[in-house]
Chains A and B, each alone.
Chain A
Amino acid sequence: MALHLNLFHEIQTTRQLQRRDPLKLSIYGLSAIAACFAGYYVFQFGRMHTINTELNRVQSQFSALEPKAKAAKKREEEINVEIKKSDLMAKRIENRFYWAPVLEQIAQSVPREVQITRLAGDLSGEGLRKCSLTVDGISAGSDPRQVAEDVRTAIAEKIGAKYKNVTSNFKTLEDGTELVVLDGKQMPTATFAINVQLTAGEDAAPPPPPRRKR
């Protein structure tokens, strides 16, 4: 076209400037950022609300369970005490030393020429227990010392068959001053005291080896 005029140019320029107005664009940008923050806030608020609800629920649950837990703990302590007592009792029962077999074997080892006047026993140690037995008596016979020796040997053999580390020693062996009638004959006597040592039970389990450090 030959001639071109546009009297709208001012309005169009103004509108174009308004469209590209940095302040307006900044406001749009900031509004968008603010909207994002608001959205994030709402999201976090909702999340916090959910967490608080969960916290309240757990707290109420905890409040409901706390007395029960205390009671359970108290009960646990009581039961532990009971268990300890029971264990102790069981241990004591299990670790008992049975004197009867020992006495039976001693009785079997004593001949008719010997009279036991005193019997004392002592037990020491846990697990592997050391038993000390003192047998006092009077032996009679043509050789009362030999009779006493036979008794000592017999006791050692008899008990040694069943127990470990059995030792049998005379603490004292003396000729007696009295005479006794045996089978219609007067015979000399000897007084003796035999100390029998033996070991009963089993060794306690060794402690576990320390863990090797890397």
Chain B
Amino acid sequence: MQDKINEIEKSIDDAVKDVESSKTLQEIKMRFLGKTGEISALMKNMREVPPEQRPSMGKLLNALREWTEERFNAIEKRIKEFELKRRYSEEKIDVTLPAKVTDDGAYHPNTLIRRELISIFSGMGFEVFEGPEIENDYYNFTALNTPADHPARDMQDTFYISSDLLLRTQTSAGQIRVMENKKPPIKILSPGKVYRSDDDATHSPMFSQMEGLVVDKSITLCDLKGMLDEFAKKIFGAGVKTRLRPSYFPFTEPSVEVDVSCFECGGSGCRLCKGTGWIEVLGAGMVNRHVLEGCGIDPDIYSGFAFGMGIERIAMLKYGINNMKLLFEGDTRFSKQFKG
């Protein structure tokens, strides 16, 4: 019997010597361990073995079976590893081949800036109000304390569509509509298109503005500065400072021009800031008492500030766009750069 066992062990060794695939291994395995396999056949022969020899025979055969199973398992493990490695090398690709591209859309730069501004100010409690683009003289000028003979009202600057109706020249017109219908506390943003009869390298007859207005009790010039500091940091970077300097707008008093320290050079002077270290970004001021009065808000109780900025200007500064016309041409080579 031992001879038989030795013979089987030897024939297993011979059979698995050159096995390279798990399929062949499986066949060999069946040859020995299958229901009709050689080891099973020996097991069946147990009946013919005299009873007294059966326990020792059984032990031998079980040992053989275990040895065989272990052997096959070990070989199988080796072959699987080998096969996986072969598959890895066969399936290897050039990962530097180009990507399969899906169409990427892009927002207009104005939308990106507009959303960024709204997100900054809505966090501070501002609502968004959009007034009409076609306004009348009252909302665009008179109510904004722009006297009848003010140069800004002249035909040169304003597009008129009738003696009274015009294309709004400033989103400030929206201020009045809000203040007429809402009592303080007021915090609104009024974004939108505005129109001026100007057309050259730095002016477009249509552009966009974002107006902000705060009216409440005890609002000060320091509050205006504080809010604009926050805005400048959020939109241009944490290190950016603001500077106020005197200016004039009919609907604010005092009026200021607001500069931010140059975010390109940090204030040391470069091409972007024309060597001054500062960039003009917006106009602002304390709401003129006449404007509040005209809207039925008592200026002895309430005060407020307003600020207005050109969205295209902010976009051009932030993204380094060198020509305003590009914003209105719809050239896909331009558009695709603003993935947002």
Q: Do A and B come from one complex?
A: no
**Interface residues in chain B, defined as those with a beta carbon under 8 Å from any beta carbon in chain A:** none
